Amino acid sequence: SSPSLHPPRVPCRLGCSPALPLPARRVAVAAAAIALDPFQEIKTEHDASKTEVFACPVCYEPLIRKGPPGMNLPAIYRSGFKCLKCNRSFTSKDVFLDLTVTSGMKEYSELKPARTELFRSPLVPFLYERGWRQNFNRSGFPGRDEEFQMAQDYIQPVAGGILVDVSGGSGLFSRKFASSGAYSSVIALDFSENMLRQCYDYIKQEETPMNTNLALVRADISRLPFASCSIDAIHAGAAIHCWPSPSNAIAEISRVLKPGGVFVATTFLSTPTNSGPFSIDALRPLRQIVGPVNSSYNFFTEGELEDLCRSCGLVNYSSKVQRSFIMFSGQKP
C-alpha cells in the first residue's frame, strides 16, 4: 500500500525520532522549521524557482518556491513559498497551504459573514458528504456522478491543463477531477480550514497515491492567489450563493483564467421557496435592504447569473437547468 500522507511523519526527514509522542513531534517540527528557514539563503532565482501558478494574495507577484517540485500533497507540504516583493512567507499549515492575506498573522483576526463561518465549523465539513449534499437532489441537483460528467463536458476544451476547484469543500469533486487523470494539476481550494482537513481525510481513506497531482490550498475566493492568465479551468460546485461578494469573486475568476479558459459552476436558482417575494423580478432590488436580514444566502435568477458573467468579461455563456438547479459556464476570451 502507498505510504501515509499524514504530516506528523514528516519530522523523520528532519532527524526527529518517530517514537516521540505527537505533541513533542509537532514542537520538534516547528523548531526545525524555524532553524531551517528555507529562504535564508535565497540570493538569486537560481537558488529557488518561481511557482507554476501560485501568486502572493497581497500583490499578485509570483511566489518563489523552495522545496521539491510538483503539485502534489507531499511536495507542497515540504515546500516553502515567499513573495520577494512583500517579504511574506507562506507554508503548509496542517495539511494545506494557506495563501490567505491573513496567513501567519498573530494578532489580527476577522469574522466573515455567517454563511462563511458556518462552513468553517467542524460539524458541517463532517456532514457535507454524509447527507448534507445528497439532499440537494430535492432541488434538482442530478447527483455527484452525473454532475461531474456535466462539468467535464464543459471543461473538455481545456483538458490537460490546470483546474482549480474553488470552494471545493470536502473535495467531493476535487477528488474526482484529480483521479480522472484529465488535468495536469488539480487544486482543491477553500476558505474553510476544516473543509480542507476533511478533504485530506477522504483522500487518505480512498488511498489516493501520493504522487497524484492534487494540492490543498486555503484562499479567499475574492483574492485568488494565482497569477493573471494562469489557470485553464475553474469549477465552483454549489458555491456562488455562499460567497460574500459574487461579483468580486467572478471578476477574480476572470482575471486568473487563461484566454480560452473555462469557468463552470452550479447553484440554486432563486425561487419563492428560497427567496420568498424577492424571486419576483419587480421586488428583487429590495433584497439590498431586506435580504441581509432575511436570508443567509444569495440566490439569483438565470438572467442575473448571465449578466454577472458577461459583466466580468466572460463570453460564450451557456447553462442547463433542472428545477432550481442550474449549471452555467462562461469562457475567457
Distance of CA 137 to the CA centre of its chain: 23
Under DSSP, the state recorded for 298 is: -
Query: Is residue 300 a contact partner of residue 269, using CB atoms and an 8 Å limit?
Result: yes
- 328's CB contacts (< 8 A; 6+ apart) are 264, 265, 266, 267, 302, 305, 306, 309, 317, 318, 319, 320
d(CA 296, CA 116): 9
Query: What is the pTM (predicted TM-score) of this model?
Result: 0.80
Q: Which of 255, 238, 266, 252 is nearest to 329 (CA)?
A: 266
Task: Give domain 96-104+112-332's CATH superfamily.
Answer: Vaccinia Virus protein VP39 (3.40.50.150)
Tell me if 183 sits within 8 A of 176, measured CB to CB: no
Give the separation between CA 77 and CA 93, rounded to whole angstroms.
8
Render each residue's pLDDT in the chain as its tens digit; 333 residues: 444 444 444 443 333 444 444 444 443 443 343 333 444 433 333 345 565 699 999 999 999 999 999 999 999 999 999 999 999 999 887 899 999 999 989 899 887 777 777 888 888 899 999 988 999 999 999 999 999 999 999 999 999 999 999 999 999 999 999 999 999 999 999 999 999 999 999 999 987 676 789 999 999 999 999 999 999 999 999 999 999 999 999 999 999 999 999 999 999 999 876 554 444 444 344 444 444 434 578 899 999 999 999 999 999 999 999 999 999 999 999
The answer to whether the beta carbons of residues 29 and 10 sit under 8 Å apart is yes
Q: pLDDT tens digits for 41-80? A: 333 333 455 656 999 999 999 999 999 999 999 999 999 9
Nearest to 315 by CA among 263, 271, 240, 247: 263
- For 221, the grid coordinates are 475566493
> What is the per-residue burial (b if ≥16 Cβ within 10 Å, else e) of 9-40?
ebbeeeebeeeeeeeebeebbeeeeeeeebee
